[in-house]
Structure 1
Amino acid sequence: MKIKFKLLTMAILSTVILTACGNTPTTDNSLTDIKAKKELVVGLDDNFPPMGFRDKSGQIVGFDIDMAKEVGKRMGVKVTFKPVEWDGIILSLNNKDIDLIWNGLTITDKRKEQIAFSKVYVQNKQIIIVNNKSTISKKNALTDKTVGLQLGSSSETALAKDVALSKSVKEIKKYSNNTEALLDLNAGRIDAVVVDEVVGRYYVSKKTGMYKVLNENLGVEDYGVGIRKNDTALTTEINKQLEAIKKDGTSNTISKKWFGKDIIYK
């Protein structure tokens, strides 16, 4: 009897220790918590037009801003936008400083190791922009040239994947945002900028005669909403609402407002 009692006591203690060490599954309260506080905090680079940027009055506006607001409205929560340095935005998400990354976030294998993603809602290309007076017409003409891009962006990844091109350029200059890179391009301090097509073409359209886009690009990529890996309930809800606004045409209306056409991934 003493032996059996001793064994039982040891078994109970083992269970308690394992539980304390976190070996039991944790409950996903992500969606419940957001609905309880009635707020969804979205992290973004607020200098990333037309996805998310500040207008003349200082308000954060843009395509992804309107998309997030619509999803938040249907979830019954207020959406708060929190500007974060782009190269540290995944850390901010995993530290729970923000609930989502919704800002032209490219789905990559490296990022998949760190966070989860919603379903694809936009497809994008990495394009090369040069000064309108530049003689550069093909990417192989960038040999011994200085190329600018945003630090921590998918443009950086796309250029690195094109090994021949990245090795041939004189310098890769990294900026905190695309606006700075394009201003340096216009000033002649760099020779080209690699940037997301949705962003680059928006800039080009606003600066008539200042820039031109090369016909060649550095590949197609998918945009998704960044979510913490354990927040499966929130991921399901975001996917549900994205599908709903796609089906009823709301996303089409938002897309045409910012791009003049429907760019939503079908």
Structure 2
Amino acid sequence: MKKTLNIILILLFTALFSACSGNSDKKTADASSSKEAETISASVQSQEPVSAEDKKENPKETASSKNTETSQTENAPAAGIPEKLILGLDASFPPMGYTDENNNIVGVDIDLAKAVCEKLNIEFEAKPIDWASKEMELSTGKITVIWNGMTITEEREEAMEVSRPYIESQLVIAVKKGSDIKTKADLAGKVVAAQSDSSGLFAIQKDEIYPSIKDGTAKEYPDYLTALGDLDVGRCDALIIDSVLINFYMAQKDMNFDILEEKLNAESFGIAAIKGNKELINAIEGALSALAEEGKIAEISNRWFGKDDMIITY
């Protein structure tokens, strides 16, 4: 009996010791876990918190940032105005826009456009194009404006945004000196030339003499200078041309042409942008007015025409 009691006591003592030992291990683990949590918490808390004051914008940095943004806004073109003005032209139309002996594109329109771009704080590029494709070049975005002694017509005003007139001109009939063509009626049976898709071509096509000219149709040329060369050697008998161009060309080249007294049409030159972009046309007109007040327009006119009032100012 005593032996049995001893065995029972030993078993109870062992169970009690195991329980105490388990609790001790749990407390140790819990303490370790608690200590680890406290260490992590301390580590996080050791990072300096962002106070409400720190969250406020730094006045100096904010001012600098706003000044930069303001500067960029002031320098950026307004809505409808591109960062670069790509001017489409027939680069063989002196004095409006043409390629000189140094292969530079120069002329009245080039000087005007450069001055306007400087005023609007935008870049400038002159891009020679096929004049007959000018509206397609504009509509596809390859050029920004057509600015090259372009005659204002109702058709063009319907198809594009066109500026107010800036130069007055006339459509005249040029013939070789000594020609037997003295009046418009004398064009009957003659080879009459004009530039493709030009106001001169449209004018002769609408004229009553048109069905009487040779072959009942005008001989079309891609540019005026080629047509003038053919007129000089007799490949055509007459050329419908802008008075601004022929007068300048004759003065510069001393070529033997006569201008008939009978004119076809009076005309005005304008600047065209894609239909709907009134903002750009308004900006160009505004810049031209400002340049006129500064005397820049008179300077350009005098440089190219020898007169300071050949370019219309508003």
Task: Settle same-fold status: TM greater than 0.5.
Answer: yes
Distance 1:118 1:30 in 2: 19
Find out whether 1:221 has 2:293 as its counterpart: no
Q: State the structure with more CA Rg.
A: 2
Report Cα offsets for 1:32-74 as digits up to 9, x if no partner: 4645xx3211111111111111111100000111010111111
Find out whether 1:265 has 2:302 as its counterpart: no
Find out whether 1:250 has 2:276 as its counterpart: no
- Share of identical aligned residues, percent? 36
Report Cα offsets for 1:135-169 as digits up to 9, x if no partner: 2221111111011110011111111221x111121
- Which residue of structure 2 aligns with residue 125 of structure 1? 170
3-state secondary structure, aligned to 2:165: coil
Distance 1:207 1:129 in 2: 15
Find out whether 1:80 has 2:122 as its counterpart: no
1 or 2 for the larger relative contact order (CA 8 Å, sep ≥6)? Answer: 1
Report Cα offsets for 1:151-207 as digits up to 9, x if no partner: 011111111221x11112114100000011110000011111101111111112123
Distance 2:191 2:161 in 1: 34
Distance 2:276 2:97 in 1: 26
Distance 1:242 1:229 in 2: 21
186 and 90 in structure 1: CA distance in 2 versus 1, 3 angstrom threshold: same
156 and 209 in structure 1: CA distance in 2 versus 1, 3 angstrom threshold: closer
Aligned ranges for residues 151-230 of structure 1 at < 5 Å? Answer: 151-162=196-207, 164-171=208-215, 172-208=218-254, 210-230=256-276
Find out whether 1:238 has 2:284 as its counterpart: yes
Letter paired with 1:165: I
Runs of 4+ in 1 over 6 A off after TM superposition: none
Distance 2:124 2:282 in 1: 18
The question of whether the paired residues in 2 share the 8 Å contact of 1:204 and 1:212 is answered with no
Find out whether 1:102 has 2:102 as its counterpart: no
Distance 1:228 1:264 in 2: 24
Residue segments in structure 1 that go unaligned for 5+ positions in a row: 1-28
Aligned ranges for residues 18-37 of structure 1 at < 5 Å? Answer: 31-32=78-79, 34=81
Q: Which protein is richer in helix relative to its size? A: 2
Letter paired with 2:209: L
Residue segments in structure 2 that go unaligned for 5+ positions in a row: 1-75
3-state secondary structure, aligned to 2:312: coil
**TM-score with structure 2 setting the length:** 0.72
Find out whether 1:52 has 2:97 as its counterpart: yes
3-state secondary structure, aligned to 1:72: helix
66 and 120 in structure 1: CA distance in 2 versus 1, 3 angstrom threshold: same
Letter paired with 1:77: I
Q: How many residues align structurally?
A: 235
The question of whether the paired residues in 1 share the 8 Å contact of 2:291 and 2:297 is answered with yes
CA RMSD of superposed structures (Å): 1.7
Find out whether 1:141 has 2:186 as its counterpart: yes
